[in-house]
Amino acid sequence: MKKLFIFLLLLAIVPSLVSATVNLDFRLDTNKKVVYPNDNVILNVTIVNRDATFTAKDSVLTINIGSRFYTFEVGDIKTGETFSKEISLKQFLPGTQNIKGDLNYTGILDERFIETSYGSFEVLFPAIQRYPRNVYISDYSLPDKVFSGKNYDVSATVKNDGDVKADLILEFGYIDEYVSENITLNPGETKTIKRNVKFNNPGVSLLETRVYALINGDKYLLNYQGKKTYTQEERLAKLSFDKIETNQNDNKVQLKGKSKLKVYIKNDGEIATNITGILTSNSEGLIITNSNLFYSLINRGESLAQQEDNLEIETNGKNSGSIDLSLSLTYMDSDNRQIKLTVPLNINDKIEPCKEDNACMDTQTCNNGVCTEITCEDGFIRDRQCIKYDCVRDSQCPEASKCDTNIHRCIEQTGCIKVLDSGNSEDKADFLIIGAEYGDYTELKSTIETLFNLKPSKYLGFFGVEPFKSNKNKFNIWMIKAPDYNTLPGTDCSTMCGEAIDWGQDANYASKCPNADFVITIFKDAKFRSCAGGGQWDSLTCQADTDKGKLILHESGHSFGRLADEYVEPSLGDRPWGPNCVSTQQEASNLWGNLVGNNGVGYFQGCSYTDDNFRPTKNSLMRSHYSATSFGPVNEKAILNILGGYK
């Protein structure tokens, strides 16, 4: 009762759970809006806690610029306190560079919040007559799996497709350890540089390659490639042969005839999974049939026989005594491994025939003095009877269910399920759709297929609009149902997103789909004003069928395209950012002046909530998803720049 009273008292003091999100003034500003490829950019980060009652605790700041990311531990930002940091960013390629900052912190009731801020700057080609513009990194490789403390060969291939001889500096590195090499490439020439890199720090790291032109002693950035890799601790299983069992009373094989074998493998190390083996023999007097073995997993300290009783040998009476068989195993601990074990086998010509079933193994019966294996396909043997499994393969289960081969039963999938498969997640933009309030995978999948135009629909959806339409092959889409994910009580279609969402639930469901790059949460029945920032939350109930797919496009313009709103709503403040909304016409000219006059591009007042800012087109999906059917040339260009990072 005392705890309840304190909780209610806190609620009386703090008028809204999400008030913390609107009382942090988080800004990203660069010292220059226009730079050249050889310039470093100074990014000024300012976070002001304007709240009078609480501290933003355990704050972590993440900055994303293209494929580059920077993480900083900010700590606690107390009431009235200002955090500021000046970050020097290395050179960038020509073009518009968009900046996204996420501030993740703990609020007054130990909930986690994310504040997001955006910025941008333009990198221009320098006015140098012989500037080599067509030099790029054509191939970039590093291992798929990396372990802490080990060295790996990585390589980058640089190609000169221009008509100018290029004197280059190639920088190659990980964290703060970079090496550089001066090379010269004639037009049409290609060169591959290899380096041996040691990865020391577990976790996600960024391996970077930069190519600079060296002109009159100055460096100009020509091309950049960054690739994330996950460095993990190495886990080692330790497998060894333990024992064998046969269908003979004394676990020996008769001198002539067929026998069944069980081979027991012991593990004295970390867990081993997906263990497959092949048993072979060099003895002329012994033939191994059905020589494949499989063990699903062997924990530390366990000794297990193969999963299926299919291992059979045949002796022809030429040998007796002890011989050695060879067992080749492949298995998985923290990596794929191989090992070869010796399996000793005794061949005896004095084995007594069986007289009753109890003299045989549990999976056999005694027939005419010989222990004979009971046939049992797709099942198991109990009391010498074949009991059929409910399932042995996924095709025997309904949709969104799979066969658990450990218990041989169909179980509903609880992890993320792929809806659109375009290939390897390392190369694709992986969207996870969390179906809030959806209790049925069939219904959720049908909704996603409609919203994303994955099946014929009379309404516009995600892949019905450029540039997503022409780049569908760059996306994977996953889904996970979340029947117990509800909004906070008392919301309607005018309720701001921050006052309706329990943010922690997204992290819980997203953690079950580690491949996800972007998370979209769609609510089946809840009512609130949709939004995007560190994630994306869409209320389908507040939209007509004609607008649901276009709502997804509008909010994805924020979360994926890093675009600003282009409508006016003074109560939301004045926050121009991104490549599509700026505070002056001069800034607009710098960003999209080269497109003015094409397909309706110009300088139109009104965006980022006030009439003072400038947007590129009269209407677009970022201004009104109800009336518009396209993003417009400037927004499409910005999205295409991001799509360029995917294959």
pLDDT of residue 637: 95
Say yes or no to pLDDT of 21 above 60.
no
Sign of torsion, CA 618 623 624 628? Answer: positive
Q: How far, in Å, CA of 120 to CA of 101, rounded?
A: 11
* 135-232 and 239-352, same CATH topology: yes
The domain defined by 417-643 folds into Collagenase (Catalytic Domain) (3.40.390)
pLDDT of residue 567: 96
CATH of 239-352, one of 2.60.120.1570, 2.60.40.10, 3.90.1150.10, 3.50.50.60: 2.60.40.10
Lowest mean pLDDT among 14-18, 120-124, 278-282, 576-580: 14-18
Place 12 in a pLDDT band, splitting at 50, 70 and 90: very low
Mean pLDDT taken over the chain: 84
The residues with which 295 forms a beta bridge, in sequence order, are: 275
Read off the DSSP letter of residue 352: P
Packing angle of the helix pair 441-451, 545-559 (nearest 10 deg): 80
Question: pLDDT higher for 537 or 405?
Answer: 537
**CA distances for 640 relative to 39, 75, 340, angstroms:** 24, 36, 51
Place 345 in a pLDDT band, splitting at 50, 70 and 90: confident
User: What is the SS3 assignment for 1?
Assistant: coil
Highest mean pLDDT among 15-19, 268-272, 377-381, 617-621: 617-621
Phi then psi for residue 359, to 5 deg, are: -80, -10
Lowest mean pLDDT among 44-48, 88-92, 134-138, 569-573: 88-92
pLDDT of residue 316: 67
* Dihedral, CA of residue 578, residue 113, residue 62 and residue 429, to nearest 10: -70
* Dihedral, CA of residue 262, residue 263, residue 268 and residue 270, to nearest 10: -80
CATH of 2-123, one of 2.40.50.100, 2.40.50.140, 2.40.100.10, 2.60.40.10: 2.60.40.10
User: What is the SS3 assignment for 638?
Assistant: helix
Query: pLDDT by residue (tens digit) across 164-189?
Result: 888 888 887 766 667 788 889 899 99
Length of the chain as a residue count: 647
Read off the DSSP letter of residue 533: S
Sign of torsion, CA 130 133 138 142? Answer: positive
Both tokens of 173, joined, read 């590195």
pLDDT of residue 594: 94
Packing angle of the helix pair 585-592, 633-643 (nearest 10 deg): 50
Taking residues 305-319, report their average pLDDT.
Answer: 71
Angle, CA of 161, 167 and 170, to the nearest 5°? 85
Q: How far, in Å, CA of 421 to CA of 477, rounded?
A: 7
Question: pLDDT higher for 153 or 464?
Answer: 464
Query: pLDDT by residue (tens digit) across 426-485?
Result: 999 999 999 999 988 889 999 999 999 999 999 999 999 999 999 999 999 999 999 889
Say yes or no to pLDDT of 319 above 90.
no
Give every CB contact of residue 193 below 8 A, 6+ residues apart in sequence: 155, 156, 157, 158, 170, 172, 181, 183
Query: pLDDT by residue (tens digit) across 203-230?
Result: 777 778 888 888 888 888 888 887 777 7
Place 54 in a pLDDT band, splitting at 50, 70 and 90: confident
Give every CB contact of residue 240 below 8 A, 6+ residues apart in sequence: 265, 266, 268, 341
**CA distances for 333 relative to 201, 232, 394, angstroms:** 20, 12, 25
pLDDT of residue 560: 93
Taking residues 157-164, report their average pLDDT.
Answer: 88
Place 7 in a pLDDT band, splitting at 50, 70 and 90: very low
402 in Cβ contact with 383 (< 8 Å): no
pLDDT of residue 511: 84
Say yes or no to pLDDT of 398 above 50.
yes
Q: Which amino acid is at 280?
A: T
Highest mean pLDDT among 167-176, 382-391, 485-494, 617-626: 617-626
258 in Cβ contact with 246 (< 8 Å): no
Give every CB contact of residue 367 below 8 A, 6+ residues apart in sequence: none
Locate the DSSP E strands across 107-217.
112-123, 135-141, 146-147, 150-160, 166-174, 177-185, 190-199, 203-215
- Tell me how crowded residue 189 is: count the other CB atoms within 10 A of its CB: 14
**Residue owning tokens 């409508």:** 567
Phi then psi for residue 281, to 5 deg, are: -140, 145
Q: How far, in Å, CA of 133 to CA of 131, rounded?
A: 6
Phi then psi for residue 464, to 5 deg, are: -100, 0
Q: How far, in Å, CA of 513 to CA of 519, rounded?
A: 10
Question: 139-154 burial, b if ≥16 CB within 10 A, otherwise e?
Answer: ebebeeebbeeeebeb
- State the alpha helices, DSSP H only, in 453-560: 504-510, 545-559
Say yes or no to pLDDT of 489 above 70.
yes
Say yes or no to pLDDT of 60 above 60.
yes
237 in Cβ contact with 271 (< 8 Å): yes
Q: How far, in Å, CA of 358 to CA of 206, rounded?
A: 63
**Quick one: 135-232 is in which CATH superfamily?**
Immunoglobulins (2.60.40.10)
Read off the DSSP letter of residue 38: T
Q: Which amino acid is at 530?
A: S
Read off the DSSP letter of residue 292: E
pLDDT of residue 175: 60
pTM above 0.85, yes or no: no
CA nearest 211: which of 162, 150, 248, 145? 162
The residue ranges of every structural domain in the chain are 2-123, 135-232, 239-352, 417-643
Q: How far, in Å, CA of 512 to CA of 508, rounded?
A: 7
Phi then psi for residue 641, to 5 deg, are: -60, -40
Q: How far, in Å, CA of 33 to CA of 550, rounded?
A: 32
